[in-house]
């Protein structure tokens, strides 16, 4: 298929265009927005959200959901924080984060794919449990006073004003996107969400695919926690609360359908940039950050309704065309062999 045709099917492209439109509107209202560093900071500041959104997009693509990622992120951030307090290395934090993400993800995966509890409910319970662990782990206190270099570690700029962290995120997102769309196992995620019966029939290991989606999601959320700790320099006990909702919203804005089988990691990343830069853009327009949630809500609802209406329209059109074709087919003559004896 030609490149052009492929691009026209890519849902992330519409999200990118939407982002560009938002930027443009902001710039038109307030031309001081149109500086390289302003636009770039929109991306740089979305590290945490991007990791969360891309992580959860794996799960959403398989047709499930995970509301425990905010809690996982919080716990990983708290762990990273305590390691930072005693001056430990980033590598150590990442190791713990990855382990935590794998464990939480595996539990979620087992509950949803094997025990078959509806994913919203199960991950809801896990969220409560992990939140509880955050409290126990941090003794109910904010984790702060990180030793030296950890805070804002990632804000050092690497090149072209892109920070260290965001350049890592870019690499991660591109790798994830390529793996999802080009490798055989990567395509399984979307296949499971698109038609689970069909996926089983052609031999895709559905249960393992779902479990691995949750494990990846957990790892991404935990790594996001490390980034979070580094970004803010402190981790309070409710860190990450509500982030899961923003991550889901980011996915939806990025073209990832909540019913599964549609969307990409790239889209989720773009949606995350949209979510995290709304408030900044509103400031430039002259609206206080009070308008954040209202704008986000309107955007989310509008996009989702438009998507649903278009989808229903096209499904209806196809059905009616099929029926009309059948009815107008007036070939009644040569049939021959289907006669009864």
Give the residue with the Cβ less far from other proteins, 27 or 109: 109
Does residue 312 touch other proteins according to CB under 8 A?
Answer: yes
Nearer to other proteins, 130 or 224 (CB): 130
Please choose, out of 12-20, 96-104, 224-232, 293-301, the segment that lies near other proteins by the rule CB under 8 A: 293-301
Q: From the list 10, 90, 124, 162, which residue makes contact with other proteins (rule: CB under 8 A)?
A: 124
Q: Which residues in 65-84 contact other proteins (CB under 8 A)?
A: 65, 67
CB nearer to other proteins: pick between 86 and 326:
326
Q: Tell whether residue 286 is a contact of other proteins (CB under 8 A).
A: no
Q: What is the closest distance, in whole angstroms, from the C-beta atom of residue 166 to other proteins in the complex?
A: 25
Q: Does 335 sit near other proteins (CB under 8 A)?
A: yes
Name which position in 122, 214, 243, 284 contacts other proteins (CB under 8 A).
Answer: 122
Task: Provide, rounded to whole angstroms, the least separation between the CB of residue 240 and other proteins.
Answer: 13
Q: Does 120 bind other proteins (CB under 8 A)?
A: yes
Among 39, 90, 133, 234, binds other proteins (CB under 8 A): 133
Span near other proteins by CB under 8 A; candidates 14-22, 81-89, 212-220, 314-322: 314-322
Greatest C-alpha distance within the chain: 92
The reply to whether 323 sits near other proteins by the rule CB under 8 A is yes
Q: How far is the CB of 62 from other proteins (least distance, A)?
A: 13
Cβ closer to other proteins: 39 or 258?
258
């Amino acid at each position: 298929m030609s490149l052009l045709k492929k691009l026209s099917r890519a849902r992330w492209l519409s999200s990118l265009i939407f982002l560009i439109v938002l930027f443009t509107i902001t710039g038109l209202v307030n031309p001081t927005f149109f500086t390289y560093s302003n636009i770039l900071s929109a991306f740089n500041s979305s590290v945490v959200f991007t990791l969360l959104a891309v992580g959860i997009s794996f799960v959403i693509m398989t047709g499930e959901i995970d509301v425990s990622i905010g809690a996982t992120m919080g716990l990983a951030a708290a762990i990273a924080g305590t390691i930072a307090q005693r001056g430990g290395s980033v590598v150590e934090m990442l190791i713990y984060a990855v382990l935590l993400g794998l464990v939480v993800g595996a539990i979620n995966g087992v509950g949803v794919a094997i025990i078959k509890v509806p994913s919203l409910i199960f991950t809801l319970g896990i969220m409560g449990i992990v939140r509880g662990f955050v409290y126990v782990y941090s003794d109910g206190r904010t984790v702060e006073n990180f030793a030296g270099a950890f805070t804002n570690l990632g804000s050092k700029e690497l090149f072209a004003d892109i920070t260290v962290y965001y350049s890592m995120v870019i690499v991660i997102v591109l790798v994830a996107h390529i793996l999802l769309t080009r490798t055989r196992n990567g395509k399984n995620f979307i296949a499971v969400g698109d038609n689970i019966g069909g996926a089983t029939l052609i031999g895709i290991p559905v249960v393992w695919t779902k479990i691995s989606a949750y494990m990846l999601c957990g790892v991404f959320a935990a790594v996001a926690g490390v980034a979070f700790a580094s970004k803010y320099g402190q981790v309070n006990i409710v860190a990450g609360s509500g982030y899961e909702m923003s991550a889901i919203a980011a996915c939806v804005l990025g073209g990832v359908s909540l019913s599964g089988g549609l969307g990409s990691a790239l889209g989720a990343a773009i949606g995350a940039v949209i979510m995290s830069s709304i408030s900044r853009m509103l400031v430039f327009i002259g609206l206080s950050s009070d308008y954040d949630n209202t704008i986000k809500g309107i955007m989310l609802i509008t996009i989702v309704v438009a998507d649903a209406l278009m989808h229903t329209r096209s499904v209806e059109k196809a059905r009616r065309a099929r029926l009309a074709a059948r009815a107008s087919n007036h070939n009644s003559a040569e049939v021959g062999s289907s006669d009864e004896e």
